[in-house]
Amino acid sequence: MSHAFVPRTANLLGALALTLADELQAAAAAVAGHGASGPAALVLLGDLAGGGTIEELRKALGLTHSGTVRLVDRLVAGGLVERRVGGDARSVSLHLSPSGRRTARRVLAARETVLERALIALEPRQRVEFERMLEAMLAELGAPRESVCRLCDSRVCGRCPVGATPST
C-alpha cells in the first residue's frame, strides 16, 4: 500500500530524530567517559550475560574489525571491559567489569532522562498511540535488531518490533 509523503511531517520527524540522537550521544558520552560507540558497546555487553565477541560488537556498532578492537582496547584500559578466554580457548570473550556494569546502568539512566524529557509533552493516551506508531515505523524499516537496539534498555521492551514483519 502506498502512502502519501508529507514533507512537513517528514521534516519534523527528521528534526526530532537528529535532536534526540545528538542529546542521547552527548548524555551517554558524558556518563561513560567515552564518545561515539563506547556507551553502546557497554550497553550491548551488559545484555550478553555470557559475554560478547569482537564480531558481535563490530556488527552491532557498524565498525571495522580494527576499529572495534581499538574501542575494546580503550574500554579495557578504562577498566570497563575484561577480556576472557572464549569457548574454544582460541577466542576471546568480552565481559563488563563491575565498573563497566555500573557505567552501562548509568548510560541507560541518562538515555531514559533524555527520552522522558521528549515524551513529557504527550498525554498518557497520546503516549500509548505514539508507541503504536513507533512500533509500526520500526517494523516497516526492517533494520537489523543488533544495530537498532544497541542503546535500548532490553529489560523494558518486551516484544521488540525491530525485525518484525510490517503490518499491511
Q: The CATH number of the domain where 85 resides is what?
A: 1.10.10.10
Inside any domain, residue 163: no
Inside any domain, residue 165: no
Inside any domain, residue 37: yes
CA–CA dist 121, 114 (Å, integer):
13
Inside any domain, residue 90: yes
Inside any domain, residue 161: no
Over the range 118-142, which residues count as b (16 or more CB within 10 Å of their CB) and which as e? eeeeeeeeeeeeeeeeebeebbeee
pLDDT the model gives residue 130: 95
What is the value of pTM for the model shown? 0.84
Distance of CA 105 to the CA centre of its chain: 13
Inside any domain, residue 123: yes
Inside any domain, residue 87: yes
Inside any domain, residue 142: yes
pLDDT in tens, the chain (168 residues): 456 678 888 899 999 999 999 999 999 999 998 887 999 999 999 988 778 999 999 998 999 999 999 999 999 999 999 999 877 778 889 999 999 999 999 999 999 999 999 999 999 999 999 999 998 888 888 777 777 777 788 777 776 777 655 554
Q: How many domains does the chain have?
A: 1
- What DSSP letter does each residue of 112-135 carry, written as one string? HHHHHHHHTTS-HHHHHHHHHHHH
125: which 3 cell numbers? 493516551
pLDDT the model gives residue 168: 45
Q: Whole domain around residue 95: which residue ranges?
A: 7-155
